[in-house]
Amino acid sequence: MNESRRPPIADSSLALLAKGYAWLPDRRRRTTAPLVRTRLMGQEAVVLHGPEAVRFFYDEKHVERRTALPGPVLSTLFGHGAVHTLDGPDHRVRKELFLSLLTGAEAVAGLVDRVAAAWDDAVESWSGRRAVLFDETSRVLTRGVCQWAGIVVEDVEPLARDLVAMVDGFATPGPRHWRARRARARCETWLGRLVEDVRSGLVAAPTNSVLEGMARHRDADGRLLDPHTAAVELLNVIRPTVAVCWFVTYAGHALHRRPGLREGLIGDDPAYAVAFAHELRRFYPFAPFVGGQAVTDLEWWGEPIRSGTLVLLDLYGQNHDPDLWDDPYTFEPHRFLQRPPERDELIPQGGGDREAGHRCPGEDVTIALLRALVPRLARLEYEVPDQDLRIPLNRMPTRVRSGFVMDAVKVPAPVLSAARPIS
């Protein structure tokens, strides 16, 4: 159809808020076209889906991220000036910093060791009492990642609340969003001052630490990051690490619904633990979609996409597509024992090439942390009292409503004996 003759399209912003994760899959099921056309906040938008669409979306000749991320998301989740807002050489140089900090085997192992030790120390305090898995895990992850990053934190609890708030409030209007903004402002101010203190010599950053790396990094123009941007990027290491508490809580949910899954985890089978981590990230909802802006007039399977159009990639829908996954609404880790996921197939936090594109550089960290923590969770003995275990799809980002409450926690003796603080 000629673009000038295409009938006007109604704005879907309210439908998105009402349906949440189900909005894009529902729209796709109602059309036989290769893409979905809609409008969001008055802007023309198209929705793409599938591994080929992932490659199309992350090609910088087609779609750019820099101008597409809305202000509310930058003011809560990513931060203004973050690597997510860059394209071209600026993005590649900044991305290399993140890859150097987050993808080496030694770096990942160091972070996992810190977090695992923080978990083993923390579970002793859960013994015999009620514990909320989401809250407890957020504090464990905050303590571990800050120690690993070279950041001294006296009181972990308020920082953990702020880091959770940034994720919890990025995709919604109202009180959660304003809590996220205030949390980010507090953390950026604190970390910006810390960067200045490192540069002035008032604070000694551990050699080769994340703190030192951010304080000393020079961008493509050869200049040091300004303290605010350095603080933003420090948070873009710490915040997504703490967000792994969503998946650990989902693991508690999965093990409660299907207790038989514990056996493979308790047996300390590394391949099964990794498969379980992949299935957590596929099955449970996290990011609903990602967006960019068409940099020129494009065409997708014969359908025109005008320059400036908002281009959305449906993450949740692709991770539950029956054309890609057998029984997509069944939690089944064994699917990933049969074969590992393809790069552009499993996309819980986006896709594309990790080295040069916008794919999350911390994906290996997420999998390694889940591989360490989920078997530890499976070894715990606890009661699950009556509580609200629903995961509402109209809440973005969603989570287990109760946070997964555990009563009468019993810590296995091997965990107690293995708990050793790392100096």
Q: What is the mean pLDDT of each run of 10 residues along the chain (423 residues)?
A: 60 89 91 91 92 93 76 66 70 77 81 96 92 98 97 96 93 85 94 97 94 90 90 92 97 97 91 97 94 94 95 95 95 93 88 55 86 96 97 95 96 54 35
Q: Which ranges in 68-155 belong to alpha helices (H)? A: 71-73, 88-102, 105-126, 133-149
Total residues belonging to the chain: 423
Q: How far apart are alpha carbons 70 and 379 in whole angstroms?
A: 42
3-418 CATH: 1.10.630.10
Residue 6 CB partners (closer than 8 Å, separation 6+): 37
Evaluated on CA atoms 326, 329, 333, 334, the torsion sign reads negative
By three-state DSSP, how is residue 305 classified?
A: strand
pTM of the entire predicted model: 0.90
Residue 70: predicted pLDDT? 66
Residue 420: predicted pLDDT? 40
Residue 417: predicted pLDDT? 41
pLDDT (tens digit per residue) in 276-315: 999 999 999 999 998 889 999 999 999 999 999 999 999 9
Distances (CA, A) of 315 to 14, 311, 358, 377: 20, 13, 14, 27
Helix, strand, coil proportions of the chain in percent (round to 5)? 50, 10, 35
**Residues 134 and 403 sit within 8 Å (Cβ to Cβ):** yes
| Domain map (residue ranges) of the chain | 3-418
Evaluated on CA atoms 256, 387, 389, 115, the torsion sign reads negative
**Residues 44 and 310 sit within 8 Å (Cβ to Cβ):** yes
Residue 125: CA count within 13 A, CB half-sphere: 11
Angle between helices 244-257 and 227-242 (to 10 degrees): 10
Sheet holding 381-383, edge to edge: 131-132, 405-410, 381-383
By three-state DSSP, how is residue 312 classified?
A: strand
CA geometry: angle at 159 spanning 155 and 162, to 5°? 155
Q: How far apart are alpha carbons 409 and 423 in whole angstroms?
A: 27
Evaluated on CA atoms 165, 167, 172, 173, the torsion sign reads positive
Residue 248: predicted pLDDT? 98
Residue 109 CB partners (closer than 8 Å, separation 6+): 368
**Which pair of structure tokens corresponds to residue 293?**
């802006």
Sheet holding 36-40, edge to edge: 36-40, 43-48, 310-314, 289-294, 63-64
